[in-house]
A and B are shown apart, each in its own frame.
Chain A
Amino acid sequence: MLLVVLEHDRGTLGEPAREALTFGRTLAAKMGVEMHALAIGAGAPATEQVAAASGDHGAARLYTVDHDLLSDFGPEAWGQSLVQVINTLQPGAVLACGSERGNEVMAQAAARLDWPFVANCTDIIPPAGGGGQWSMTRIQWGGSLLEDATLTTGTALLTCGLHTVASAPVEPAPVAPPETQAVAVELDAALARTVVKDRVVLEAGVTLPTAPVVVGGGRGVGSAEGFAPLEELAELLGGRVGCSRAVTNNGWRPHSDQVGQTGTRIAPEIYIASGISGAIQHWVGAMGSKHILAINIDPEANMVVKANWAVIGDLHQVIPAISAEIRRRRDRP
């Protein structure tokens, strides 16, 4: 059996859980086994919704684990729960989505079991005929590079790279939700030490990962003040300003605006990338954009070469001209 660990926040199933189930379906088929799902601490009220969603995405059975320490996320308590479920159910492999929480919980379980754990796979080939060696392709450098690897283990602990697959329900939809079964765990009270203590909600509205338009600025913007015209254009288009690491390193913008391997991955309808050379670590954060318009003085810049459209010139002149043209067209009767 392939066990898929569902990511949820206090009972609300997230997109990573659906991705893991979608990826897991293919893997379970390759293994020739059923796919079962595990909800750690989702709480009784949520079970129905979680069961329905896991069934819709191909899980034949849902296991639930409930415990006082699991009323909110805690990496150690989740990891310890997963270890006990693995010991009880003896799955052939365990898969989660390689989100921040997914990788962390798998690492916690792997540490406790002293088993290997392979993070962020894009393709997994189970051993032929049951035991033996797994093969996989996994993400290095935030997606700029791929690694083919092998894994020799009993039960494989794996995550699939975030957004490696788009989540999709099975068709036709299952007639009934999967059978649900509770698994008992015993947890050391000390694990409360890493359970979420508090939460702070900051911003509502358009965030960088979900913005339909991102106006990006790089070193070419030259200063913090230089971003004012980018802000203006972003506002006109209902989008957000993004930036490169050269910009955050200079203290011109907060790190929350940074696009790239160590920043945010964006997926807008259009990314207007100005004064950005397009280094590979920036590109992996930008490549999810549906369209790219580059503005750069250098026609050979990597960002220009990879863009759909480009304007060659000084962003300090081009961006205000674009804003002015948008206003002119909007004001036209």
Chain B
Amino acid sequence: MRVLCCVKRVPAPGAKINVTADGLAVDAAHLGFTTSPHEECGVEEAVQIAERTGGEVTVLTLGPAEAAEQLRYAASVGAHLGVLVSTDGAAWDPQRTARALTAAIESLEAGSGAFDLILFGNESADSGGFQVGVRVAYALGRPIVNGIKGIEVDGPVVRARREIDGGFEVYEMDLPAALGVKEGINLPRYPTMRGRLASKKLEITTLVLDAAGGDQALVRLHRPTETVSQTVILGDGPDAAPAAVDVLEELGLV
């Protein structure tokens, strides 16, 4: 089975997210970068499916040249091929991103046939537009369901589970199909030494293609107003237990 997973490179902020002076991006000067969490799980899922079915995993990202780091990471945990649609690094609107990814997938499939399964993250960790996967799948004529936390491939059919309050829904589609997956679908493995070495040798296919911009434009990023709390320190160590239980008692919980 040939599985494609689309991933996004995002900064990994800690206690606070800072914005650049022009307000157009997260200030990543002192930050590391990572694969958006849903997609990290997407890569793991793709690798597991390929391991079970003896298949091949391609990872596709749209981003700056540095996004090759995320492709190499994917290779270090078992992906076979990496494709970069290279941009200037500025944030692309959802329509433009979807158009470029569609064109990239069409060009990959023109060479080697349709991917059996395409995985997207349910939404990217940063801009969170909740639409790129759906747009690409629709443009390619594939069915897609979002919010997926379980995938089972059974011959020509894929069964997918979506979490709902107190249980899950089951969807069943013929391949080729696409799914938007969420963190929790699996526990991504850590790269092994061998995987790290192999990832250095990963040959990355770079596609240079542009797409028409959409109609949504970013004006400015800003932090929401923070609620400032005057923390009451109840004490140090186990001796503070009675004071803590006083608090719980006040809330009517004891």
Contacts and interface: CB of A to CB of B under 8 A. Distances in A.
A68 to B, nearest CB: 18
Interface stretch (B53-61, B71-79, B217-225): B217-225
A115 B215 CA distance: 8
B14 A119 contact: no
Q: Is the interface of B mostly helix, strand, loop or mixed?
A: mixed
Interface in B210-234: 214-224, 227, 229, 231-234
Given A145-B17, A310-B234, A318-B237, A197 B172 contact: yes
Given A107-B130, A321-B241, A202 B167 contact: yes
B183 A263 contact: yes
B86 interface: no
Interface size class of A (residues with CB under 8 A): 35 or more
Interface stretch (B106-114, B196-204, B242-250): B242-250
A113 B191 CA distance: 42
A312 B236 contact: yes
A280 interface: yes
A263 B161 CA distance: 17
B15 A293 contact: no
B183 A262 contact: yes
Contacts of B131: 103, 106-107, 110-111, 117, 119
B146 A75 contact: yes
A321 B237 CA distance: 9
A140 B125 CA distance: 8
B117 to A, nearest CB: 14
Contacts of A261: 125
B238 A140 contact: no
A326 B144 contact: no
Given A270-B253, A304-B231, A308-B231, A193 B174 contact: yes
A168 interface: no
Interface string A264-292: 00000110000001111100000100011
Nearest to A122: B224
Interface residues of B, number: 84
Given A104-B130, A141-B126, A305-B231, A258 B17 contact: no
B187 A251 contact: yes
B140 to A, nearest CB: 11
Interface string B121-155: 00101111111001101110001111100000000
A114 B127 CA distance: 20
Interface in B177-203: 182-184, 187
Given A104-B134, A112-B138, A326-B248, A76 B143 contact: yes
Q: Is the interface of A mostly helix, strand, loop or mixed?
A: mixed
A156 B13 CA distance: 32
B169 A140 contact: no
B32 interface: no
Contacts of B138: 108, 111-112
Interface in B9-25: 13-17, 19
A86 interface: no
Q: Which residue, of A108, A135, A207, A302, has the highest number of chain B Cβ atoms within 10 A?
A: A108
Interface string A143-184: 111111111110000010000000000000000000000000
B254 interface: yes
Nearest to B137: A111
B17 A75 contact: no
Contacts of B88: none
A53 to B, nearest CB: 19
A61 interface: no
A140 B237 contact: no
B231 A302 contact: no
A254 to B, nearest CB: 8
A106 B233 CA distance: 46
A107 B254 contact: no
A293 B244 CA distance: 8
Nearest to B245: A325
B240 interface: yes
Interface string B80-94: 000000000000011
A197 B145 CA distance: 12
Contact of A306 (B14, B223, B229): B229
A67 interface: no
Interface in B33-65: 37-38
B222 A310 contact: no
Contacts of A195: 171
A317 interface: yes
A308 B232 contact: yes
B130 A330 contact: no
A313 B244 CA distance: 13
19 contacts: A75-B144, A100-B162, A111-B131, A111-B134, A111-B137, A114-B95, A115-B215, A117-B129, A143-B224, A146-B222, A195-B171, A255-B187, A262-B37, A263-B184, A281-B13, A299-B233, A311-B240, A317-B237, A318-B238
The 10 closest A-B pairs by CB, nearest first: A255-B184, A321-B238, A313-B237, A321-B241, A111-B138, A107-B131, A198-B170, A103-B130, A107-B134, A116-B215
